[in-house]
């Protein structure tokens, strides 16, 4: 850690103790009580703190806002998180006009945050609702012009990976149809293993499955075998999240989008940050909040600048409660995903973190924003030695690893073990000895002349590997140390 490192360590240490205490109390049925008297849910007055005239309709971390001021507050937070990243960094004086280098792609999950995000994008940048426009500069100001020439929304369906999960693609498409001039792009999780899909986006596909699997499965079967090869429930959840993120980024690149916006609210971001850190992805905490991603580092845009996709979480200052009120007052339809019926989904770190942060936000609303603000002050120590071929994020230079092309989090994902037995995700698929890999790894593995293969090691081979570390009968560790001097 650099700036804020000591404070960050003490904060996360205390938070870890809180999670352990909360989880143990949840298991044993103990009810947590506070000696501090419950505070009022609002400040000194019930009047709106912004206009100071109308009686408030909603309490946001103790300040009270009326309905009209709440709408302007939401659009202000949304624009403040998105618009500073629209323009490429200019070489000369800073420009106020918003001139993105490409199109806009909105990644949605049909949940609360993504539904609110889609509505805000339509009102602010497509319908050009005057109530959402900045007041400065007059009606002829350049900020009131159309920013993105093309806006598309991309939905990822994950039902094929989990049994008994309903396909909601048609429902999500109906939700998007209410917004004009927004193209709907459906994706499926098995597209990560579909060579035809990658060829459609003009990705150079090189076959690597022959090196890791002798069978020729279809994309869906390959996805299920790959997930069945993962060791724990947590690694399966994190892998689905990684595949979803990368497919969205590749789609943004293929559609000529310079910006990919996600509906991650303040609450969801706090959950994601704590979950990622606990799984070993602390070095990539900056990328978890915002990142500049490039499929090809040599690609250039029309102006000759390096082409990148800016992944922005434009609701990072908006809590779950605020999203719920916006959806309620705007009459938005939310196609919320039902919980996964898979038994092991209750055991993974993400589920435990989500339950803890949800309770924390309900009882102590300001703590959730404190988690995110603290994470923004935490800087990773050391430099990056390259890009992980599995998650496409930086690799920590100083981290010892047996796999030089994987980051610590991905290495842990593939090799971690659980003290609990993990029920099979799909009973019809046995745990494989070799598994197919996502298609985007093909060119990278060919470039590095690397082949990943999982195989059971015999006892003789295991003994040869650890031969130098074995002690003879009756020999102590101190004697070995003395003999090697």
Share of the chain above pLDDT 70, in %: 69
pLDDT class for 188, splitting at 50, 70, 90? Answer: very high
Q: Which pLDDT score is estimated for 117?
A: 96
Name the burial class of residue 72, with classes exposed (0-12), middle (13-18) and buried (19+) by CB atoms within 10 angstroms of its CB.
middle
Is 48's pLDDT higher than 60?
yes
Alpha carbon distance 241, 192 (integer Å): 12
Mean pLDDT of the chain: 78
Alpha carbon distance 87, 107 (integer Å): 20
Summarize the confidence of residues 256-282 as an average pLDDT: 93
Q: Which pLDDT score is estimated for 473?
A: 65
Share of the chain above pLDDT 90, in %: 31
pTM above 0.85, yes or no: no
Least confident window among 87-96, 152-161, 275-284, 445-454: 445-454
Q: Which pLDDT score is estimated for 81?
A: 93
Q: Which pLDDT score is estimated for 479?
A: 56
Answer yes or no: are the C-beta atoms of 47 and 55 closer than 8 Å. yes
In the β-sheet with 182-188, what is the strand arrangement from edge to edge? 182-188, 151-157, 103-108, 257-262, 309-313, 290-293
pLDDT class for 380, splitting at 50, 70, 90? Answer: confident
pLDDT one-digit tens code per residue, 95-107: 578 888 899 999 9
pLDDT one-digit tens code per residue, 230-261: 888 888 889 999 999 999 999 999 999 999 99
pLDDT one-digit tens code per residue, 158-183: 888 887 788 899 999 999 999 988 99
Is 30's pLDDT higher than 50?
no
More confident of the two residues 16 and 177: 177
pLDDT one-digit tens code per residue, 320-378: 999 999 999 999 988 776 666 665 556 688 888 988 998 888 888 888 999 999 998 88
CA-to-CA dists, residue 483 to 26, 149, 157, 426, 464, angstroms: 53, 74, 61, 53, 21
């Amino acid at each position: 850690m650099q700036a804020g490192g000591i404070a960050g360590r003490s904060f996360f240490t205390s938070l870890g103790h809180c999670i352990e205490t909360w989880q143990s109390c949840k298991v044993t049925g103990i009810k947590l009580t506070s000696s501090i008297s419950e505070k009022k849910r609002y400040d000194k007055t019930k009047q709106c703190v912004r206009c100071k005239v109308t009686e408030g309709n909603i309490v946001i971390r103790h300040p009270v806002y009326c309905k009209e001021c709440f709408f302007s507050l939401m659009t202000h937070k949304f624009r403040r998180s998105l618009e500073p990243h629209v323009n490429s960094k200019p070489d000369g004086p800073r420009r106020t006009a918003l001139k993105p280098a490409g199109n806009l792609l909105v990644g949605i999950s049909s949940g609360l945050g993504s539904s609110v995000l889609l509505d805000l994008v339509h009102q602010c940048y497509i319908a050009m609702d005057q109530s959402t426009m900045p007041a400065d500069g007059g009606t002829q100001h350049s900020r009131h012009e159309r920013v993105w020439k093309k806006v598309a929304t991309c939905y990822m369906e994950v039902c094929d990976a989990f049994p008994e999960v309903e396909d909601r693609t048609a429902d999500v498409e109906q939700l998007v149809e209410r917004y004009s001039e927004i193209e709907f792009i459906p994706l499926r999780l098995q597209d990560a293993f579909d060579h035809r899909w990658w060829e459609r986006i003009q990705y150079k596909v090189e076959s690597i499955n022959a090196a890791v699997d002798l069978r020729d499965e279809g994309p869906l079967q390959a996805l299920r075998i790959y997930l069945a090869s993962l060791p724990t429930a947590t690694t399966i959840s994190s892998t689905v999240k990684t595949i979803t993120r990368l497919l969205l980024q590749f789609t943004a690149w293929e559609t000529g989008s310079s910006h990919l916006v996600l509906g991650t609210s303040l609450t969801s971001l706090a959950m994601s940050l704590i979950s990622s850190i606990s799984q070993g992805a602390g070095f990539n905490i900056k990328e978890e909040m915002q990142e500049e991603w490039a499929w090809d580092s040599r690609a250039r845009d029309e102006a000759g600048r390096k082409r990148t996709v800016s992944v922005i979480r434009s609701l990072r200052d908006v809590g779950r409660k605020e999203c719920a009120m916006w959806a309620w007052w705007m009459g938005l339809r939310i196609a919320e995903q039902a919980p996964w019926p898979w038994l092991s989904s209750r055991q993974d770190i993400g589920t435990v973190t989500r339950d803890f942060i949800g309770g924390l936000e309900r009882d102590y609303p300001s703590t959730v924003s404190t988690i995110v603000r603290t994470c923004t002050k935490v800087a990773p120590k050391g430099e990056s030695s390259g890009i992980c071929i599995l998650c496409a994020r930086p690799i920590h230079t100083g981290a010892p690893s047996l796999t030089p092309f994987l980051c610590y989090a991905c290495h842990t994902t593939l090799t971690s073990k659980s003290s609990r037995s993990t029920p099979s995700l799909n009973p019809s698929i046995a745990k494989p000895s070799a598994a197919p890999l996502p298609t985007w790894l093909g060119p990278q593995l060919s470039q590095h002349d690397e082949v990943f293969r999982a195989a059971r090691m015999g006892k003789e081979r295991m003994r040869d590997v650890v031969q130098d570390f074995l002690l003879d009968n009756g020999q102590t560790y101190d004697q070995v140390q003395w003999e090697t001097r």
